């Protein structure tokens, strides 16, 4: 799995500062050979349209907090952070089950043919739940097995696994992910900040005040690559 390459600012944060922006250039690596010592410095450069590409798609893996996401515009690329979140396609693969956070189990743990630890259920992480989600496991939801759940529940399971393994530190926490589900399940939308409602998806046009046309799913997809 290849993660976005970034450089660190003076505080140790992986941010896209104005110093890393070059007029109109797409995100790429720039190699600079030092004349003094011959050392190579690797730096990532992002265009000022860091959220949206020319075809209106968001750049995955570079994002900001939910509350800032709805109001951020292209004049504040310094608030964008590149994280190392992994996609639902990664988490649902059996060869990656060892990457799941401690205490959460994609499958039941067996000993001598007997279940000693059951697979972690969606309802043990998210509340409220009803219908099939009340008994479905996290793996069943993120895998969309037997059409369990929807795009929101699948995306939130993915966001939870990323947050619980520290892949979205400083951007999206476990408690924020859980709160997204609670608000969505109760109200049919999530408010990242007062007066802004995110439904499952959004058909709003991409523009400076709404860089990704984001709903809940649209925002969460910016937190993984």
Nearest partner of 104 among 92, 120, 117, judged by Cα:
120
pLDDT of residue 17: 36
Find the farthest-apart pair of alpha carbons in the chain and give their distance in angstroms, rounded: 66
**pLDDT of residue 185 exceeding 90:** yes
Using a cut of 0.95, tell me whether the model's pTM lies above it: no
Distance, C-alpha 222 to centroid of its chain: 5
pLDDT of residue 58: 55
Q: What percent of the chain has pLDDT over 70?
A: 61
pLDDT digits (tens, 9 = 90+) for 30-74: 333 334 444 433 333 333 333 433 333 456 777 878 887 766 544
Count CB-CB contacts under 10 A for residue 93: 12
């Amino acid at each position: 799995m290849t993660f976005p390459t970034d450089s660190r600012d003076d505080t140790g944060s992986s941010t896209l500062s104005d110093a890393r922006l070059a007029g109109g250039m797409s995100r790429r690596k720039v190699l600079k050979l030092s004349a003094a010592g011959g050392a190579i410095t690797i730096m990532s450069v992002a265009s000022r349209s860091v959220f949206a590409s020319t075809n209106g798609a968001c750049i995955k893996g570079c994002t900001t907090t939910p509350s800032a996401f709805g109001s951020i515009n292209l004049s504040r690329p310094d608030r964008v952070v590149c994280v190392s979140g992994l996609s639902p396609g990664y988490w649902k693969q059996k060869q990656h089950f060892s990457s799941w956070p401690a205490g959460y189990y994609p499958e039941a743990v067996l000993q001598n043919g007997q279940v000693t630890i059951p697979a972690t259920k969606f309802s043990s992480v998210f509340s409220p739940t009803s219908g099939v989600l009340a008994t479905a496991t996290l793996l069943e939801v993120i895998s969309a097995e037997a059409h369990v759940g929807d795009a929101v529940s699948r995306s939130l399971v993915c966001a939870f696994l990323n947050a619980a393994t520290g892949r979205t530190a400083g951007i999206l926490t476990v408690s924020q992910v859980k709160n997204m589900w609670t608000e969505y399940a109760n109200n049919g939308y999530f408010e990242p900040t007062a007066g802004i409602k995110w439904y499952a998806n959004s058909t709003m046009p991409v523009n400076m005040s709404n860089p990704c046309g984001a709903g809940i799913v649209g925002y969460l997809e910016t937190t993984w690559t």
